[in-house]
Chains A and B, each alone.
Chain A
Amino acid sequence: MSETPLLQLDNISKFYGSITALTGVSTQVAAGEVTCVLGDNGAGKSTFIKILAGVHQQSEGTIRFNGEQVMFDSPRDALDTGIATVYQDLAMVPMMSVWRNFFLGSEPTSGIGPLKWIDTKKAKRIAKEEMAKMGIDIRDTEQPVGTLSGGERQSVAIARAGYFGAKLLILDEPTSALGVRQSGVVLKRIVEAREQGLAVIFITHNPRHAYPVGNRFLILNRGRSLGSFHKSEITVDELTQKMSGGAELEALEHELHGSGATS
């Protein structure tokens, strides 16, 4: 853990009218570390991301990025600061090719004055190289993103965020729609991003995905923080228990064993 974390959140709260979506959440993430945000449905994970991504603004609390207090007015604002968010529904255009998606919004151009064209050769080469760094060999960068598997799409999004100089990568439930092997691929990408010195916030409801890759765990339940733990302070079983409201699950497990529903 470094001395000043890249992102420091203190007592973040968010109210939608009379509804409290998030109260008093604090955590931090440092460069080269993964902070996992865990919580069941309705725990406030989405609100948490949207505040960091600049979609919503917090009602209370402070966000410090690199030690400076910040407030994001728009997604572009957050992006320019160095926070890239990879959404669950993926910011990709399925009918467009891999390289166009990779560079969408930031295409490299050549040409003079108003007559600018995309340097397609360069764009294709870089897209291929960056994907190769992620361990995915895209033979034809012209193929539409819609033909890639879910894990590969996540990888394109992660590679894109890294290439465009994101310092903090927020991944919204990247493994939730994926099978076992594909989830493995995405977890590996997270580890790689971390090793390249990026700070990562990994949002998930699956502690078994979070624990192996995370350095710090923020557990949310019904809009409240159940604490932010360093990996040394918690085991995966404790994590699972805290997340799901422990006792209830244990009771359920006993019940199931008792009735012979599991073998």
Chain B
Amino acid sequence: MSEQDTPTDAPSDVVTTSAIDASDSLAPAADERLLYRSIFQRLFIRPEVGAIIGIVGIWTFFWAVSETFGTVGQTFGWLDTASTVGIMAVAVSMLMIGGEFDLSSGAMTGAMGMLIIYLVKETGELGGRGFPLVIAIPISLVIALGIGYINGFVVERTGQPSFIITLGTFFALIGLKLGLAKRFVGQIQIGRTDEAADFDFFRLIFAAEWERNTHELEVRDALYIGFIALGFAILALAISELWFQRREKMQPAGLVVFFVGVGLGVGGLLGLHATDGVGANAALVAVMAIGGFVGLFGWATWRYEPSVDHGAMSLDSQMRRRVGLGLAAMVLSFIVAIVFDSSSTHQIFFPFTTQGVRVILYLVFAGIGIGLIAMASQAALSVNAATKFVVTSVFALALGIVALTVFVDSSDTKFRGSLFGVVLAAAVMVFVWAVLTFRFAERRTGSASADRFGARLLALGSVLLFVGIAFRMLFITAEELVAGVPPAKTSVRLLWFILFTIAMMWVLARTRLGSWTFAVGGNKEAARQVGVPAARTKTQLFMLVSVAAWFVGLLVAFRINSIQANSGDGQEFIFIIAAVVGGTLLTGGYGTAFGGAIGACILSIPAIGISSARWNTDWRFLIVGVILLLAVVSNKFLRNKAEGIRR
């Protein structure tokens, strides 16, 4: 076939080159086939997207079924577990991206905690030397690095799977922990860290605590609502910037409208802070919402190209059927919700009560309704602007019906308040979005400056939301103190977790080690051929995991002051599960540090959630198993979808 491609009797280079030149038209042709991928499509194919959906889902689930889950104290509770699991999960994620496993990572956390205590303890001629921590900590760090180095060295030298090599290290560590503990202290528990002379100073670094109830801040709620509102507003601007086509020439009139909107929003916020009546609150929230809409509309008028050709609405039979059936299902769900008596606890048949049946029926009908309408609006996206506007509005209406149902027929104030608010806000946002996308032209081409500005706004908005939530969680108001809010406290380990995750995200994205990690996990031979020191990179990753284990060991030793010899054993699987739930590929070359951190949070929520729902805590294993299966299946699905978009 290819023989016909180039002339066979070309005597000179001139003819040949020009013949090959004919294929030059290939490059632009290939480009035309390359569809424009908006930043949302690119975000959607990130490995951790499944995990983010997962954490929202599992959090909402436990929030709905338990009385206290979602309070500040409980949130600090699961974040505390997530911190130690997460530091390990982030390191393990990186090792797995590099294509290796470390089964000794769990046992190592306990071993490192014990080591520290040995070093600071005076147990006679055999045992520790009674070092101060300032000496003990560096010594233990060196030993941790050594263990990681040995893991990496043996794996690289033998070329055997790290799974089996680190299984050996795992058992060796377990044996050492038990044997040495019995030998030195005669029992399998060893304490205490605070025998060290300089314990108090290091305690501040590794185990300082923050008691929420002793930190009063009167303006907390104003700051909280202010940051959250500002954060959401900026996120809305960011999404618009990424979504719409910029104008050639800005329209200053829009800017005036924008500031009117901002004024309304700020006015609503100040009013909210000043008043206390429920009715006034609702009115002022409405003012803020209107302000937000006006501001967004003004911003869009200022910056973005209006949409010209809307087309006429046309629903094909399938879309019409879906919209019709969907709306019918929504109405049915509403009827189900009112017909059943929500206060009855009568058991229809085990284990379902009237209330349970009602909830299940409601969820089924509402799920079908929302699902059908969502499918219809997905299909409407590719028809024309008018159709899209109508179907998206129907979708907003369906969400509105959900909110209404929740409001009129929920026995629980939690649902009547928060859930109603969130769903109603979602309905309003979908409708606003329908209006904006109808009114303004979507961007169909790449624009580096818009992408950059939008991404910056996105980051700024996220940070503002984070700061707002942090204020809410860290401080208490006098009012709450009087009302007797249960005490909540958090530890510095959460801060370490956040910092470590950010640092590792940076390492993966911006350093040679990060690039090489992906390379040795993705195609080790290729990496080696272009001069990547593959063995060294993998050894460094093993050492990273052992240093993380050392740090977590320190955190535990400082928190509970004594360590059991079996501490951490078996946790290695939790770390691996967290990494996989976070979107890291078992076979290497793909994944993120952030995903591992989110995965750790997902795995830490059930333990707290189950106990606050007053179920038997043994169920948590079932939940972990189901989460893992769901994550593997959905990550595979998302990845296929991602590759579909890419090609």
Name A residues whose Cβ lies closer than 8 Å to a Cβ of B. 75-76, 79, 85, 87, 90-96, 100, 103-107, 109, 116-118, 120, 135-137, 139-140, 142-144, 146-147, 149, 151-152, 160, 175, 178-185, 187-188, 191, 206, 208-209, 211-213, 236-237
**Nearest CB to that of B21 among chain A residues?**
A188
6 contacts between A and B (CB under 8 A): A91-B525, A106-B530, A120-B510, A136-B27, A185-B27, A209-B2
**Nearest CB to that of B510 among chain A residues?**
A117
| 8 Å CB interface, B20-68 against A | 20-24, 26-28, 30-31, 34, 37, 42
- Tell me if B321 is interfacial: C-beta within 8 Å of chain A: no
Residues of A close to B6: CB separation below 8 A? 184, 187, 208-209, 212
- Tell me if B160 is interfacial: C-beta within 8 Å of chain A: no
Interchain CB contact under 8 A, B21 and A104? no
Please encode chain B, from 499 to 527, with 1 for each CB lying within 8 Å of some chain A CB and 0 for all others: 00000001000111001101100110111
Most buried by B among A91, A94, A151, A160: A91
Least CB distance from B351 to A in Å reads 46
Please encode chain B, from 628 to 647, with 1 for each CB lying within 8 Å of some chain A CB and 0 for all others: 00000000000000000011
Alpha-carbon distance A105/B512, docked complex (angstroms): 8
Residues of A close to B26: CB separation below 8 A? 151, 181-182, 184-185
- Tell me if B347 is interfacial: C-beta within 8 Å of chain A: no
Alpha-carbon distance A209/B10, docked complex (angstroms): 12
Interchain CB contact under 8 A, A75 and B529? yes
Alpha-carbon distance A211/B30, docked complex (angstroms): 27
Q: Which of B9, B510, B647 contacts A236 (CB 8 A)?
A: B9
Interface size class of B (residues with CB under 8 A): 35 or more
Given contacts A105-B527, A109-B512, A137-B31, contact A93 B5 (CB under 8 A): no
Interchain CB contact under 8 A, A143 and B646? yes
**Nearest CB to that of A134 among chain B residues?**
B27
- Tell me if B531 is interfacial: C-beta within 8 Å of chain A: yes
Alpha-carbon distance A103/B531, docked complex (angstroms): 11
Alpha-carbon distance A110/B615, docked complex (angstroms): 54
**Nearest CB to that of A236 among chain B residues?**
B8
Q: Which of B10, B23, B31, B519 contacts A96 (CB 8 A)?
A: B519
Q: Which of A95, A105, A185, A212 contacts B590 (CB 8 A)?
A: A95
Least CB distance from B234 to A in Å reads 24
- Tell me if B461 is interfacial: C-beta within 8 Å of chain A: no
Interchain CB contact under 8 A, A93 and B7? no
Interchain CB contact under 8 A, A118 and B511? yes
Least CB distance from B25 to A in Å reads 9
Q: A106-B530, A106-B531, A180-B5 are in contact. List 15 more A-B contacts (CB 8 A).
A: A91-B529, A96-B522, A104-B519, A105-B516, A137-B27, A151-B26, A178-B2, A181-B23, A184-B5, A184-B23, A206-B3, A209-B6, A212-B10, A212-B13, A213-B16
Interchain CB contact under 8 A, A208 and B526? no
Alpha-carbon distance A104/B446, docked complex (angstroms): 26
Name B residues whose Cβ lies closer than 8 Å to a Cβ of A. 1-10, 13, 16-17, 19-24, 26-28, 30-31, 34, 37, 42, 446, 506, 510-512, 515-516, 518-519, 522-523, 525-532, 589-590, 646-647
Alpha-carbon distance A212/B21, docked complex (angstroms): 12
Pick the 4 closest A-B CB pairs, nearest first: A184-B23, A212-B16, A105-B531, A93-B522
Q: Which of B5, B10, B511, B522 contacts A117 (CB 8 A)?
A: B511
Residues of A close to B647: CB separation below 8 A? 147
Count, A-B residue pairs, CB within 8 A:
140
Alpha-carbon distance A135/B29, docked complex (angstroms): 12
Alpha-carbon distance A146/B639, docked complex (angstroms): 13
Alpha-carbon distance A136/B22, docked complex (angstroms): 15
Interchain CB contact under 8 A, A104 and B515? yes
Interchain CB contact under 8 A, B511 and A93? no
Residues of A close to B510: CB separation below 8 A? 117-118, 120
Q: Which of A104, A136, A187 contacts B20 (CB 8 A)?
A: A187
Least CB distance from A153 to B in Å reads 11
Least CB distance from A244 to B in Å reads 13
Least CB distance from A152 to B in Å reads 7
Residues of A close to B8: CB separation below 8 A? 208, 211, 236-237
Given contacts A107-B512, A184-B6, contact A139 B34 (CB under 8 A): yes
Given contacts A140-B446, A208-B8, contact A184 B528 (CB under 8 A): no
Interchain CB contact under 8 A, A139 and B31? yes
Interchain CB contact under 8 A, B532 and A104? yes
Residues of B close to A208: CB separation below 8 A? 2-3, 5-6, 8
Least CB distance from B142 to A in Å reads 17
Least CB distance from A160 to B in Å reads 8
Interchain CB contact under 8 A, A95 and B522? yes
Residues of B close to A140: CB separation below 8 A? 37, 446
Interchain CB contact under 8 A, A105 and B20? no
Alpha-carbon distance A28/B473, docked complex (angstroms): 74
Interchain CB contact under 8 A, B512 and A116? yes
